[in-house]
Each structure stands twice: as structure tokens, then as C-alpha cells.
């Protein structure tokens, strides 16, 4: 997910010059966005870990089964 690039002048904000009520609304909006993004990243990390663990279990199962097959043939 790539974000659209912003113009450098858009990022320059004077937070000290904002009114306290506006500052509180701004902080609340930023916190809400950060919380949503954090939830998405947690979900991604859990999915990646689950896929990795499933792959390790699958490989270990195949290796154990291969050893059993080799012992039976001898």
C-alpha cells in the first residue's frame, strides 16, 4: 500500500498557532488514524506469523514422514 506523495509545503503546519479547541480536534483525528493503522499492522503481523508457523509445521511433518518411509524400506 503506497501512499500518494504530498507536496512538502503541505506538511509544514504551525501547531503552536492553532487554537486549543482546534488542536484537540486535530490530535483526536491523528490518534484515530494511528489507531486504525496500528490495528491493520497487527492483523498483518499475525497473518505473516501464522503462515510462517504453518510452513514450518508442514516442512517438519514432511521430514518426519520421509524418515519413516526410509526406515520401512530398509
What is the pTM assigned to this prediction?
Answer: 0.52
C-alpha cell at 51: 503462515
H or E element in which residue 7 lies: none
Question: What is the C-alpha separation between 69 and 64, in angstroms, rounded?
Answer: 9
N-to-C CA span, the chain: 53
Determine the pLDDT at residue 69: 72
Determine the pLDDT at residue 2: 61
CB 26 within 8 A of CB 18: yes
pLDDT in tens, 19-59: 777 878 888 999 999 998 999 999 999 999 999 999 999 99
C-alpha cell at 38: 496500528
More confident site: 12 or 71: 71
Asked whether residue 14 carries a pLDDT value surpassing 70, the answer given is no
Determine the pLDDT at residue 10: 63
Determine the pLDDT at residue 71: 72
Amino acid at each position: 500500500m503506497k501512499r500518494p506523495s504530498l507536496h512538502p509545503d503541505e506538511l509544514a503546519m504551525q501547531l503552536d498557532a492553532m487554537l486549543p479547541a482546534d488542536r484537540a480536534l486535530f490530535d483526536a483525528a491523528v490518534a484515530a488514524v494511528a489507531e486504525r493503522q496500528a490495528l491493520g499492522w497487527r492483523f498483518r503481523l499475525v497473518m505473516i506469523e501464522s503462515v510462517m508457523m504453518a510452513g514450518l509445521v508442514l516442512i517438519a511433518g514432511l521430514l518426519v514422514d520421509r524418515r519413516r518411509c526410509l526406515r520401512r524400506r530398509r
